[in-house]
Amino acid sequence: MSKNNFYHLKKVEDFCLRDNRWVSLDWRLKPNNLAQLKKELSVAKQYAKKRFVNKIEVLLPITIPQELAELLYSENFKPALVELKFDLKKFTQASYNIANLNFSSQIKNKSALKDLLIEQADFHHQNLPDYYLAAREINWFFYLRQFLNDATKENGLLLLIEDKGDLSGLVLGEYLGKTAFIWELVVCQKKRHFHLGSYLLNQYLAKLKDLGIARVYLETMSNSYARSWYQHQGFTEVSQSWFSRLK
């Protein structure tokens, strides 16, 4: 954390992202003080250039004033992600009548796993190309190693869905105390629109509730149909992020 507590340098290990270092500003509690935000953004830009970082991301509430949106657009910011939350206290497991499906937590076919993740990577890149790498740009050796490490760690939770023996979808996350985070939820493109995603998510939430988890968080792209899909599944939006690249 910098001495100016309104921004910090964020570092992540995610091989799908175009950037693994960026300057992050948290404006979730102060979206109306436009003059102060302009000063903070100017300071953050100077800091980013000193650290050779070319991306700035701003955390915001879901609803922001029009004046702030205009400021962000004028500074070449664009919407990136939305954070959503699910209250498991209100969760009731639904019943689905879908034949020939099996659930597993064991990865049997790494090639099929990679194919599924390639579909997801291209979906992300098509919706937000300045934020996510295309599948052809990803180092799949390191990405798959990271995925398998996340899936097998003590507090990780992986659920795979197979349709007639073929890997059709997966959801991967982790839990800390009473809170869980979903990192990936993927359904094979050919199997979408058959309620597999809803079925998979429902089973995953049921497992989390059995573990005593109270709340679940995830992020999805602001301009993706997944945003409204998660809302339909019962998630509520809690914050959003915008990003800009320095020239």
Identify the pLDDT of residue 102.
79
- The whole-chain average pLDDT of the chain stands at 91
Could you tell me how far CA 76 lies from the centroid of its own chain? 22
The closest alpha carbon to 170, from 181, 157, 179, belongs to 157
| Pairing of β 215-221 and β 179-187 | parallel
pLDDT of residue 194: 72
pLDDT band at 1 (very low <50, low <70, confident <90, very high): very low
Please answer whether residues 112 and 162 qualify as being in contact, where contact means their C-beta atoms are separated by less than 8 angstroms.
Answer: no
Task: Write out pLDDT tens, residues 71-109.
Answer: 999 999 999 999 999 999 989 887 766 656 678 888 888
CB under 8 Å to 58, separation ≥6 — which residues? 24, 25, 27, 41, 72, 77, 241, 242, 243
Read off the amino acid at residue 168. Answer: S
Question: Taking the C-alpha atoms of 100, 105, 111 and 114 in order, what is their torsion angle to the nearest 10 degrees?
Answer: 110
Closest C-alpha to 143, from 220, 186, 151, 129: 151
Query: Tell me, what's the pLDDT at 164?
Result: 76
d(CA 214, CA 179): 6
DSSP state of 150: H
Which residues fall within 8 angstroms of residue 204, CB to CB, at 6 or more apart? 157, 159, 171, 173, 182, 185
Check whether 130 has a pLDDT greater than 90. yes
- CB contact at 8 A, 28 and 64: no
pLDDT of 93 reads: 83
Question: Can you give the pLDDT at residue 97?
Answer: 62
Give alpha helix (H) positions in 137-222.
140-152, 196-210
Lowest average pLDDT, out of 108-112, 114-118, 137-141, goes to: 108-112
pTM of the model: 0.91
Over the stretch 32-71, which tens digit does the pLDDT of each residue have?
Answer: 889 999 999 999 999 999 999 999 999 999 999 999 999 9
* CA atoms of 219 and 227, how far apart (whole Å): 9
